[in-house]
Amino acid sequence: MAHTGPSPVLSCSAALIPRPTVFGASILSLTASLVKDYTAQSPPFMNPNHGTIPPVILDFCNITIHHTHPGTNDDVVSQIWLPTSNGSFNGRLQGVGGGGFIAGLYDYMFIEMDAAIAEGYAAVSSNAGIYTTDVNGGDADQWALLSPGNVNYNALRNFASQSLYDMTILAKDIIKSYYGEALKYSYFSGCSNGGRQGYVLAQRFPELYDGIAACAPAIFWNEVLVEGHWAQQFMTERNEFPRPCELDYLHLAAIAACDELDGVKDGILQNPDSCTFVASSVLDQSIVCPEAGNKTVKISQTAVDIAHATWTGYLPQYAEVEFQTPTGGFDVDLKFLAGTNCSNGTCVGVASPFVPNWMRLFVAKDKDWKPGNLTRQDFEKMRMFSSREYQSVIGILDYDLGGFKERGGKLITYHGTSDPAVPYKSTLRFYQGVQAHDASVADYYRVFLAPGLGHAIGGLGAYPNTTFHALVDWVEKGIAPDSLQATSQPDANNKTINRVLCAWPKQANFTGGNANEFTSWTCV
């Protein structure tokens, strides 16, 4: 769908653009700024769901809208980028998601908006009224609490879902006014928190988008962000903190034991669930450890137990603890959740900041709270509180995508099996939940596991840079993707690998020949 630019009646002038409306919201201000000779592009491995997009020089109109929900004293910002160069607008909208504690309109989200307009889309993103800049939530105390013990639930609601609805309604209204006709298609692209946003849109606002690409989605946010503290809690209770070298050794031992089960020696587990490596098989094994001044140390029982629990989701000596969300697979970096720092022969736990910041602000509701020597009983209380308190606010409501199915929407997710931040099994948990209610789920929702891929893009595994274009073909041409081609980032020797990712539950099977050729893999 090609256009020749904006309606001849309108230009990039706030005075000439009718004010859009959103039920329950009031527009505070609308500004329009013409950006000329702008270089829009998508660098390689910088924009989840998308591949490299070469530089395009274009003009676009940046419409910035501040709005509030009367009675809440919030100030939500949305930006809508409208291509204005002749023929550059393709008649489609691309909503852009956030990441971590950032809802949108920050840093790499602007790369995503760049990529969208480079391909002719109008782009929209929103900050949800959140003006902090730490994706790990270190500065979220500026908005999370009204006072000690009192969460700003309106701000959290904006962050979790409401701003997604608002920005989309605003964008569609503006686009119709500006170009003189309604959109032909609308898409959303996001990863991590942005992936969670995609699922929110599919479940809570199914009418808004025709297609959603949502990778590594943090959909069980209210559960994962306390359960992610389990390894630190376990080490604290034992007062034993394994050296990083121990966890690295266990990780590499599992990879070495199971690497060639798929017929290819590449350091990647094509199917982590097929690995049967037993962590206790290396207990007390001597290794050379950098954190011990390159002296020899032994693999400790605590390190073994952490690996076993991560790989199986079960700690025999703590049988009363049942993880609500699945843990990672055999190819996950064990140090992510069980991080430690060693000095002068003494090691202490170092938690990934994302998890304790959620616990601090939204569970303890005290900006000065620290985990310290959290008792098992208190940890269990925090875990259950987060799960129950925030289910309806930021969690998944249920396993029903019926509304999205009925409107003809399509949802594609890829998830790296080496993702340490959001376990890939959590995505499978949701997919299987939907599948249990609807055997035709593959008609509108497909999941692709990416062996060896980390969170969104990193790791040794291949990255499916064809995801978004596959989504567009599914929506507009009815071509349902059975597989995605994927290519890894270059390694230290500037070598890459090519792999085929299959729509779950199918898996890529190596058929022989050059493992780096896409034709050497089939989905079975």
Active site residues: 192, 419, 455
φ, ψ of residue 43 in degrees (nearest 5): -65, 160
Assigned token pair, 305: 């137990």
Residue pair 321/315 in contact by the 8 Å Cβ criterion? yes
Return the H-helix or E-strand segment holding 410: strand 410-416
Q: How far apart are CA 183 and CA 18, in angstroms?
A: 17
Residue pair 10/177 in contact by the 8 Å Cβ criterion? yes
- Residue carrying the six token digits 């493992």: 515
Kindly report the CA angle at 214 between 210 and 216, in degrees rounded to 5? 170
Q: How far apart are CA 156 and CA 154, in angstroms?
A: 5
Q: How far apart are CA 327 and CA 313, in angstroms?
A: 5
Q: How far apart are CA 108 and CA 95, in angstroms?
A: 14
- Residue carrying the six token digits 């993103």: 125
Assigned token pair, 407: 């409107």
- Residue carrying the six token digits 């530089």: 55
Q: How far apart are CA 379 and CA 386, in angstroms?
A: 11
Sheet strands (E) in 139-216: 145-147, 150-151, 185-191, 211-215
Output the DSSP codes for 322-378.
--SS----TTS-TTTTS-EEEETTEEEE---THHHHHIIIIIS--TT---SS--HHH
Output the DSSP codes for 179-242.
HSS--SEEEEEEETHHHHHHHHHHHH-TTS-SEEEEES--TTHHHHHHHTTHHHHHHHHHT---
301-312 and 230-238 are packed helices; what angle lies between their axes, rounded to 10 degrees?
Answer: 150
Alpha-carbon dihedral of residues 234, 239, 242, 247, nearest 10 degrees?
A: 0
